[in-house]
Structures are given as C-alpha cells and as structure tokens.
Amino acid sequence: MAERGASFRRDLSEWRIALVAWRLLVLQAAHPVVGAGMAEHSTYQAHPWRRVEHTLGSGRRLFYQDADALRREVARLDRAHKRIRGTAPDGRPYDAGDAATRAWVLLTLFECVVAMRRLGGDPYDAGQLELVYAEFTGAVAAFGLPEGELPGTAAELPGYFARVAREQLEFNEATRYLLNDILRGAPRPRRLRFLGDAGWRAVRGVVARAVTALTVADLPPVVRERFGLVRTRRAALLSWLLHRGAGAVVPLLPDGLRFRSPDEQRVPPRWRPPRQDARGPRLDRFFREVLDQTGDGFITVHDLRAMAHNVCWQLELDDEGEARVYRAFDGWWEQLRSAMDANGDGRVSREEFVAATVAGCDRDPAYLEQGLLPALRAVFTAADSDGSGFLEADEYRVVFGGPRVHPAELSHGFRQLDVDGDGRITREEFLHGFTEFFTARADSTPGTQLLGRP
C-alpha cells in the first residue's frame, strides 16, 4: 500500500478527477485503434456523460475494490472488447483486444491521475510516483498483458508517452469531435437538472468552450505539438484557476464529500406531468431514451447491439449468456427492420417506430412476440442470476438502475411490476409489464412506468 499522500486508488476517487476526465477521453480516442472502435461501436456522441462515467467508473472498480471485484471488472472488459474489432474506413484492421492498445488505455488513466495532482499544485515526488505506479501495475496485472507492454518503472513513463504520441496518436474524427463539437449538442448532465433543458441549452455553448480550452491547455505538450494545438494564455489561466482551486479546496473536505464511491447512487430524473393520450408520447420517449443509443434520430442494428452490450455489461454474463442476449437483440432488430424500414436503408426513424408500433399492436395482439418479448426473455434469464425463476429486488436493480433512475423510482417500478406483492417479479409479471408499456393507452397502468413516473 502506498504511503499517506500517495495512493493511486484514493486519488482516482477524488471529485477533482472530473477536471481531467475529458483530457482522458481525448488521449484514449487519439489512439488509432480506440478511435476506429469508437467510430463504429461507441454511442459517445449521443451519450457523452455515460462514456465518461463508464470510463471513470470502470477505473474505480479496477483499483478501488477487492480482488474479486477486480477479477469481475477485467472479465467484463474482456467480454466487451472482444466484440470491438473490424476494419477502419482507411482499410486498417483494428481490435480492441490488442495488448499494446490496452496498455495505452490503462496508462492514460494513470497519467491523468498524475496530471491531476501536478496541475492541482500537489505533485507526487519521485518516491511517491514509483509507489503509486507499483500500486497501479499490481492491479492491472490481472489483465495478463505480455511482459514489456507496460513500462517497468514510473521514470520510464515520459519516454513511453512521447514515443506513442509521436509515432501513433492521430487527430482522428473521434478526437476532433470530442474537442470541438460534442458538447455543443450534448444532452443536459443529470447533475445540472436544476437548469432544465432550456437553461442547459443556454449555457452549454459556454461550457463547451471552457472544456475545450481546459482540455487543450492540459494535454501533454508532445500531444499538442503532434495535433498542432495551441495553448493560449487565457486557457492556461483557466487551467491554473480551476486546478489550483480544486487542489486547495477538495483535500480539505470530509471524506464523504471529497471522494466518490464506485457504487454512488444516482440522482432522480426531473418529473413530468402526466399526459392524457399517452401511448404515442410514451413510445417516443422510449425511442429517444432507450432505443436511439447513438442519438442521431434513427435506430439501426448498432443501436440494438449497444443495448445488448449495456445489458451484458451490467450483468457480467459469461460468454454463453452474452451470446444469448446478443442473438435475442439481433432478432428484435430484424423484426423492427422488416416491419418499419420501408426504404431499405437499414435504419428506422422515430416517427416510423412510433407509428408502426402503435399500428402493429392494434392490428395483432401477438405483435410484440415477434421481436421485443423474446429479447426481454433473454434479459430476464440473464438477470435471474440465481436461476430461481424470479427477479428479486437486487437483481431488478442491476438491470434497471441506470443513470436516469433514482433508487426511489427503482423501488416504485419494482412494486408496480410485482402484481401479487410477494416481493419478487415472475417472468410473466416482467413480460406483462413491458406489454402494458407498449400497449396501454393511459399512463395509470403499472407497466407504463418502466422509465419512471410519466
């Protein structure tokens, strides 16, 4: 364990890590393999805050918890990354399982914690740096990277970063979009819910400019040189004020305010008044908040596979369980495509989805059996971790406890689906609730509240 004042896992859990979070994403995305994978497989453009949360949350699970939690997180990452492979538009093959790429992604996390301390005015000294690097490498040994992929000592890190930056990093489309465009159209972060959507739209341009300036100012000089980016005096001043201010204030806070737990509960969504004619608006909301993972106004096979990925990620399934979920979601996509993709372009718009779903449910009582319900059966089977045939409250929480759902909403939704009130949800109750969500005309029906109270 590192000495007092030099603990990697503790520093990673400080709230001021948020100041270098965007810097971390840019450094990772600039690697050609990561950039290609993000372009083809990631939903970061529509869900930037989820991308940040997944990256930092995974880091905390790797370094903040016990050996069993570490093992599960490594297995989860292995399962997710084995599906991220293909050929980039320029013809280069990419594979997220590549050892050198994984080493880069892991080391950027370490380097950003080091940068956070340095920029905050309390850098590690040489001895502390070696201690925290030993703490870091001890945890990432669970990835089984080949010998030599990670620098042997912290003193070798500057040379490693300079070499990768000059020889491999690219100012690719993912990097450009992260720096220049993504925040200008980003959805409101849940922690700024008090602004409302209109308030967020009014300030996000300022936020976008500030984040871009801060990120460019904080990037390693060798990376700025590689990308042709200029650190302006104004950006340098902004960086100094934010980092030094956080470095002075955050360490003085009590632990409950200073550190963020990996299992931190989520804040509640903004409640909306009920609507009279609820089916169309409810399906529209389902499309926007659940189906359209990329946020481009359409759903494609990639959106359904991103949903399957998120289910598997939360549940930590084995290979067979993951394959079952992916097959079910691929089947759901085929049903959506054949019923709704009239022009054959491989995508379905929000308007097409709502109209076709309403018409299909009105026309055929078994309409949902053609795609949605088989996918939900696969989710239920996967979530039923003990094979009891029921979803207990903790199993339900794993599936539905996403960033938009407060624990109180989770409990409410669980009670609504638990029709007989026995404290557990049967497969029939689970499927019946989703059927009500898609078919009920009024929001008073229990199953219509799967996304929280309307």
Any domain includes 436 = yes
Q: How many domains does the chain have?
A: 2
**The pairing of beta strand 425-426 with beta strand 85-87:** unpaired
Q: Are residues 164 and 243 in the same domain?
A: yes
Any domain includes 267 = no
Which of 222, 256, 290 is the endpoint of a domain?
256
Lowest-pLDDT range, 98-102, 185-189, 246-250, 348-352? Answer: 185-189
Any domain includes 207 = yes
Instruction: Please report which confidence band the pLDDT of residue 402 belongs to, taking 50, 70 and 90 as the band edges.
Output: low
Q: Are residues 215 and 311 in the same domain?
A: no
pLDDT of residue 146 exceeding 80: yes
Structure tokens at 215: 């990120």
Any domain includes 274 = no
| Contact status, residue 134 vs residue 35, Cβ threshold 8 Å | no
pLDDT of residue 262 exceeding 70: no
Q: Are residues 219 and 311 in the same domain?
A: no
Any domain includes 165 = yes
Instruction: Please report which confidence band the pLDDT of residue 208 belongs to, taking 50, 70 and 90 as the band edges.
Output: confident
pLDDT of residue 44 exceeding 90: no
Rounded to whole angstroms, the Cα distance separating 4 from 406 reads: 35
Q: Are residues 289 and 185 in the same domain?
A: no
Instruction: Please report which confidence band the pLDDT of residue 46 belongs to, taking 50, 70 and 90 as the band edges.
Output: low
Q: Are residues 200 and 151 in the same domain?
A: yes
Lowest-pLDDT range, 51-55, 170-174, 206-210, 365-369? Answer: 51-55
Rounded to whole angstroms, the Cα distance separating 374 from 383 reads: 14
Q: Are residues 292 and 182 in the same domain?
A: no
Rounded to whole angstroms, the Cα distance separating 85 from 34 reads: 10
| Mean pLDDT across 4-13 | 76
Q: Are residues 202 and 300 in the same domain?
A: no
> Which CATH number belongs to the domain containing residue 328 in this structure?
1.10.238.10
| Contact status, residue 450 vs residue 433, Cβ threshold 8 Å | yes
pLDDT of residue 415 exceeding 80: no
Any domain includes 1 = no
Any domain includes 109 = yes
Closest CA to 453 of 354, 189, 444, 393: 444
Which of 256, 291, 311 is the endpoint of a domain?
256
Domain with 332 in it: 279-449
Q: Are residues 232 and 288 in the same domain?
A: no
Q: Are residues 374 and 228 in the same domain?
A: no
Any domain includes 268 = no
Q: Are residues 228 and 288 in the same domain?
A: no
Q: Are residues 250 and 397 in the same domain?
A: no
Q: Are residues 385 and 306 in the same domain?
A: yes
**pTM for the model:** 0.61
Helix (H) or strand (E) holding 348: strand 348-349
Cα dist. 445→270, 334, 432, 438, 439 in Å? 20, 29, 11, 11, 10
pLDDT of residue 216 exceeding 60: yes
